[in-house]
């Protein structure tokens, strides 16, 4: 991410220091993280419709544990994956491919909120439903290759029949 945001020179000169500082700052504030409205409801709705749900995050395992507990999703999701499971995280497709393996293969759809999510899914040859909760605009997500874009999880849940998740 340092390279993507600040360029090759900053990555080469200060990348490790920036990542170390970010981890300490984020860990100190992780208790302030709250789930997005309707996040658990989306997982419940997908499960009710017969979908396998594998949560895939570039976060570290200790962060994933915190998020799973926050969502009370350990028994709800079929599985999850983190940066510890792969060599490269998004936008490389490794995390998406690992999630696909954990889901047992077959047809899949990614739900994500960043251009990196969309790019990773495209590289794994699966469509992405994008949600505008990650700070990216509609046009950015479409240009990255999103199959459809929603403003909120509530809007997605209300329109699941109009997405690649039709079931």
Per-residue pLDDT of the chain (167 residues), as tens digits, is: 788 788 889 888 998 898 888 888 888 999 999 999 999 999 999 999 999 999 999 888 889 999 999 999 999 999 999 888 888 888 889 999 999 999 999 899 999 999 999 999 999 999 999 999 999 999 999 999 999 999 999 999 999 988 988 65
Q: Verify cis geometry, omega within 30 degrees of 0, for the bond prior to 91.
A: yes
Provide the residue ranges of all domains of the chain, joining segments of one domain with +: 1-32, 33-162
Report d(CA 111, CA 116) in Å as an integer. 12
What pTM, to 2 d.p., does this model score?
0.85
Q: pLDDT at position 94, please?
A: 94
Q: pLDDT at position 91, please?
A: 84
**Dihedral class, residue 35 (left if φ above 0, else alpha if ψ from -120 to 50, else beta):** beta
Q: pLDDT at position 123, please?
A: 95
> H or E element: which one contains 2?
helix 2-6
Q: pLDDT at position 15, please?
A: 86
- Record: fold of 33-162: Rossmann fold (3.40.50)
> Three-class SS of residue 130?
strand
């Amino acid at each position: 991410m340092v390279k993507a945001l600040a360029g090759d020179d900053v990555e080469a000169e200060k990348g490790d220091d920036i990542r170390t500082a970010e981890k300490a700052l984020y860990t100190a504030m992780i208790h302030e993280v709250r789930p997005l409205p309707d996040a658990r409801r989306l997982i419940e709705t997908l499960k009710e419709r017969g979908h396998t749900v594998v949560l895939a995050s570039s976060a570290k395992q200790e962060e994933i544990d915190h998020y799973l507990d926050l969502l009370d999703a350990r028994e709800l999701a079929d599985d999850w994956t983190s940066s510890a499971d792969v060599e490269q995280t998004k936008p490389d497709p490794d995390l998406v491919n690992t999630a696909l393996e954990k889901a047992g293969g077959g047809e899949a759809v990614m739900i994500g909120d960043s251009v990196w999510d969309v790019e990773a899914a495209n590289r794994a040859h699966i469509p992405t439903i994008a949600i505008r909760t990650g700070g990216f605009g509609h046009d950015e997500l479409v240009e990255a290759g999103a199959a459809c874009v929603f403003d909120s999880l509530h809007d997605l849940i209300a329109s699941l029949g109009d997405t690649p998740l039709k079931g």
